[in-house]
Chains A and B, each alone.
Chain A
Amino acid sequence: MLDSNLNNLRAQIEPTLVALEAERLRQVNTCKTTAFWCAGLAIIVALVVGGIGNGANIFMIVPLIFACIVYAALASGANNKYSGSFKQMVTPQLVKNFGDLSYSANSGMSEAAFNRANLHQNPDRYKSEDLIEGTIGATRVQMSEVHAEDERKHTDSKGHTTTTYTTIFRGLFVIADFNKNFNGTTYILPEGLSGSLGGFGRGIQSLGGTISGRGALVQLEDPNFERAFMVYSSDQTEARYILSSSFMSRLMNLKAHFNSNVSAAFISGSLYLMIPKRENWFEPPNLNMPLTFASVETTLRQLQMATGIVEELDLNTRIWSKQ
């Protein structure tokens, strides 16, 4: 972001930050008061319990544990309240600086869209939040943070069943209007181990494409791109039309930019992009940190990275028949 834009943004959100700082201090005080009362009451009850039991005993620890639980619940409530206010008052203003965009903290990309992308298996548990949607230049975009998990049940020798969840995908999920017309489907996935197995590996990859319904393996001319990605498509020519040499290099840059195994699908005129990242996207600064313009830098950086995808992939160039 340019310095002049940054200064404008600072001037624009400064009053909101001041108001929210007062709210943060109130929540911090609530936490401190809660801590004081919880600790005080726990000590008194523990002493009473010690007196009844004629000296120190193991039961004295019970009120302390109980006090910790009560404190954690109340502090978490205060943190959520602050976080909710930040997302309601600050994030929408930050988002508007990157395009004609709106922000909704409690909405997200739908599970149906995640499944339609066909870049991962369908999840058993799906969560998404922080939806940003609107247009950046000529490109319509939708994006949110997504956490998709697979359920696994284990039964031990005694017949007890435990359920665990493993992450299929966690990160940023983006759908953007693509700037070229196409009819088929094309998928770009990170290159796996099979890529190093030569012809045998290609055979495995081809089989994988058929089983997953992604289509035939497309072998492209760019060796760097081929080392980083495998491409499947229902139409060999169309895949090459989408993946021009400049677009391949842009995708490589995007992968480097996010330092992540980016995957993409081109379906019904749209680009579905999944960027795995463990970090928590678009979250407010810690409750204990004084709220200044500098403390929203992480959110700002994340927004810049996420909305920068449009420019990175040159999606606003509309020189083809699709406008």
Chain B
Amino acid sequence: MSFVLTMAVAATATGVEMLEALAIVLAVGITRGFRDALVGGLAAVVGVVALCVVLGPVLLARFDLDVLRIIVGSLLLLFGLEWLRKGILRMAGQRRRSSSYVEFTEERSALGAQAPPGDGADWAARLVAFKGVFLEGLEVGLIVFALGEAPGHLAPALAGAALALALVSAIGIVLHEPLRRVPETQLKLGVGIALTAFGCFFAAEGLGVEWPLGDAALLYLAALFAFTAWLEIRRLTRPRALVEAT
């Protein structure tokens, strides 16, 4: 069960990040040319992979397993709670809904306003693609590292990321319409719940906790955070509904 759960969370979390990176590469490609967009994007991917390959083994070798679990748990809690907070605000209508399509159109109009260079490399376009893909890629790397740190979890975390890469690449080939149809707000809220559950699970294990029911604790932790999110969405939505009714 733990294998499937880790893979599903890794696939969804990294998939959403890859979708955002894809939106930036598409926007740069359509407005300034795909050659420069791909050069910037691929350079960022190489940078992120190199960083993970160099830093990953150093971190694993340097820290005790319990300390590493607390570090990884804290990172997952930071990501998870931030996604959960934004997801709750979006679902309650207090923040704009998440959409890679909107990001794509905004990036496209921003780039379209600048004049591209006549000949040679378009460094501005390459830099925009590099920055976008590097930051999203770094998040993908951190999520895979954090989920894959526990013994036996690296394979499902990598498999999930690979699955997400295949799916997002397919979306990239078919282009715009699927980008518009992805229910990102709900997906991100779900990922926030899952990452917070994993973060709480690992951080507590690092502090010496033995979870009742073992890995199944992830399920009741996710249920607790989902219930909290539902309560908060209701709390934030209610005053507006009352005002509209009167």
State yes or no: do A and B come from one complex: no
Q: B: which residues have CB within 8 A of A?
A: none
